[in-house]
Amino acid sequence: MGLDHDLDFDEVDTPPLEVADDSERLTIDIDGWEGPLDLLLTLARTQKVDLRQISILQLVEQYLSFIENARALKLELAADYLVMAAWLAYLKSALLLPKDPTIDPSPEELALRLQLRLERLNAMRESGARLMARDRIGRDIFLRGLPEGLRVVRTTAWDVNYFELISAYGQIQARNAPVMHVVKRRAVMTLEEALERVSAMLGQILNWTQLEAFLPIGAEPALRRSALASSFLAMLELAKQGRVELQQETSFAPLMVKARQGAGA
């Protein structure tokens, strides 16, 4: 981490410090830096080319002395610079004091973190500069200014086969053919049919029998519904004629039918 404490400060030639040392000036421009990290990086770069070798302690002292100078000259120094200064002052004292294993995180780790951040910011700053220094299209390098352009002319191949052609004609003909409407017979059982059917069946039925037993077996639902209604009416008619007896225990209970003794036979 390069926390060597005895590097000679005076060897370090820093433009920012020159500004700071220039007591003739009434203001120190901290707007030249984009925040405390930027200032720290500038200070760090004056130490060594390789940020991995910088002395954090030395860096901290440079920052604090810079801020101290700047504060004396410019009272409204931005708050984040002062926050950083306070934090670095703490870091400095922690680094100088005998090691206390109970302090978590250790000052060494804090220092390492600061160093890592500076390395990362520096890497991006250098990458940005390298990016900008590239030969850029539209600035250094030019594409053809007046390209004729390439064109794709689309032609359509219509897709239709012989079968589609003649079947289309067939369908026109079919459309134009006169249409005969046939109304389909609905499956119904008329009252007359029901009367006939029920009368015929009554002879074989001696006990009370449910009305549904008189319906045709295996009929379609539509026919069955019609037969039920017709057969019911037929039963009522037969009851009126005195040929059958009807019985129902409650509403909607099965309707029971029985031939009247000696009536129809």
Partner 1 sequence: MIEHDPSVRAVEATLFASDSPMTMEQIRAYVGEDVDVADALSKLEQQYQGRGIELVKRGKTWHFQTAADLAHLLRREREESRKLSRAAVETLAIIAYHEPVSRAEIEAIRGVQISKGTLDVLMEAGWVRPAGRREVPGRPLVYATTVEFLTHFGLATRRDLPGIADLKAAGLLDPVDLALEGLQGLSAVESGDLPEGGDVELEIGDESA
15 contacts partner 1 (rule: CB under 8 A): no
Enumerate residues 28-67 that contact partner 1 by CB under 8 A.
34-38
Give the Cα separation of 113 and 93 in Å (integer).
17
Which of 9, 90, 169, 208 forms a contact with partner 1 (CB under 8 A)? 169
Residue number with CB closer to partner 1 (182 or 217):
182
Instruction: Please state, as a whole number, how many other Cβ atoms lie within 10 Å of the Cβ of residue 250.
Output: 5
Binding residue for partner 1, selected from 31, 75, 76, 145, defined by CB under 8 A: 145
**Is 183 an interacting residue with respect to partner 1 (CB under 8 A)?**
no
Which of 4, 9, 22, 128 binds partner 1 (CB under 8 A)? It is 128
Q: Does residue 185 sit in helix, strand or coil?
A: coil
**Residue 153 interacts with partner 1 (CB under 8 A): yes or no:** yes
Tell me the CA end-to-end span of the chain in Å, nearest whole number: 123
CB nearer to partner 1: pick between 146 and 265: 146
Please report, as residue ranges, which positions from 212 to 241 form the binding site for partner 1 (by CB under 8 A).
none
Q: Which tokens belong to 66?
A: 């810079």
Using CA atoms, how far residue 232 sits from 54, 207, 212, in Å, is 109, 18, 9
In terms of CB distance, is 173 or 207 closer to partner 1? 173
141 part of the interface to partner 1, by CB under 8 A: yes
How far apart CA 223 and CA 193 sit, in angstroms, is: 12
Q: If binding is defined by CB under 8 A, does position 265 make contact with partner 1? A: no
Given the structure tokens 């990016």, which residue do they identify?
A: 131
Count of other CB atoms within 10 angstroms of residue 57: 21
